[in-house]
Amino acid sequence: MSTPARISAAGFDPERIRRDFPILQQEVNGHPLVYLDNAATTQKPEQVIDAISHYYRHDNANVHRGAHTLSDRSTLAFEQARETTARYINSPKSSQVIWVRGATEAINVVANSWGRSQLKPGDRILVSWLEHHSNIVPWQLIAAATGAEVVPVPVSGAGEIDLAALAELLDERVKLVAINHVSNALGTINPVTEITRMAHAAGARVMIDGAQAVAHLPVDVAAIGCDFYAFSGHKLFGPTGIGVLWGKEDVLEAMPPFLGGGEMIDTVSFSGSTWNTLPFKFEAGTPDIAGAIGLAAAIDYISGIDMAAAAAHELDLLQQSIELGAGIEGLKRIGSPAQSVGIYSFMIDGVHPSDLGMLLDQQGIAVRTGHHCTQPLMSHYGLPGTVRASYSLYNTAADVEQLFAGIRKAKRLFG
């Protein structure tokens, strides 16, 4: 496996980081927890838990319009969280950071606001075979409503987007390319900057699902050049129920609101209403204030870690998995992308993924089994699903050893 600008993980200490995560200090089914389901959600450090608790204990109030001290403090913390998030992804302005419930909602906002106002019969939306359902189904729904068409971009056997095929598909009918930055099923890192350049050259907008990227890679939306970028807080060591839609300012300004209600308005009368400025135009109702504060605490936490070394450490765990897996008869890794994060997706001949997942759980090992919300990709490989071990900065070489010891034990039970 090759990776660009390989950075040494020497000196990176996952054991020190583990001490910040209270949930990891437990046994499951009589065994020390080995948590390898990070692509589904990451665990939360004490610093995030404390930030959320502090908000509810000391500052809890609604934001922006209160005429009292608690509201002022809540508003300040809430908007400082937006500033922190904007810096993390190198947004030119914090007003381009829109709070949503997660990447799924962000994509639906773009589909229903931008898509409903811009798409017409005959237009095309390109999505890859690698996409999570949340970057497929919203486009199918809006295509059905507008007469547009969703067209898949093929991937190779290794699990990489076929850029030549993408180039062939990019014509004047294509209005949007919706692509993930990192595949949740295989770990593939897609060349999103190059894909954005190709799409823009054809006159298309670009929507990037960054849910799997933000905890592993530096994300610079200005450098990528995309029109929209979405991610979820809970995959970035933050709380569930909070996420980000980032968009280019001119594109967001031109989009109509998605939800109506309080906060997103400027004026309301029975003769008509006008809309608030960015980002509030897209933030109807009381937001997840504690979630935004928790997400900012997560960003502050990982900003104190050498994330390049952490990424190298995760790739070391992936390489260890590849080597150990090669020694188990009947085990097949699914996908072998040249550029990848620490996701190891595999099958074992004669063993259903769900059965293996259950036996691993009995040994305290948490993995994900099934189609990983990527049924088109699984159909491409002719599989019902896979077993997925996904690594994070608090995982260790011992965790990988435990995983493969559990696999070998399960394999013996299945004969």
Contact partners, residue 411, CB within 8 Å, separation at least 6: 328, 330, 348, 351
- 328 and 348 Cβ atoms separated by less than 8 Å: yes
128 strand-pairing partners? 153
Which residues are catalytically annotated? 373
- 378 and 371 Cβ atoms separated by less than 8 Å: yes
Calculate ∠ Cα 157-161-163, nearest 5°. Answer: 120
Contact partners, residue 20, CB within 8 Å, separation at least 6: 45, 46, 47, 301, 394
- 131 and 151 Cβ atoms separated by less than 8 Å: no
The helix (H) or strand (E) run that includes residue 368 is strand 368-370
Are β-strands 149-153 and 124-128 bridged in parallel, bridged antiparallel, or unpaired?
parallel
Q: For residue 288, how far is the Cα from the chain centroid? A: 18
366 φ/ψ angles, rounded to the nearest 5 degrees: -100, 115
| Helix spans in 202-245 (H) | 221-224
- 218 and 189 Cβ atoms separated by less than 8 Å: no
Q: Which of 398, 402, 400 is nearest to 15 (CA)?
A: 398
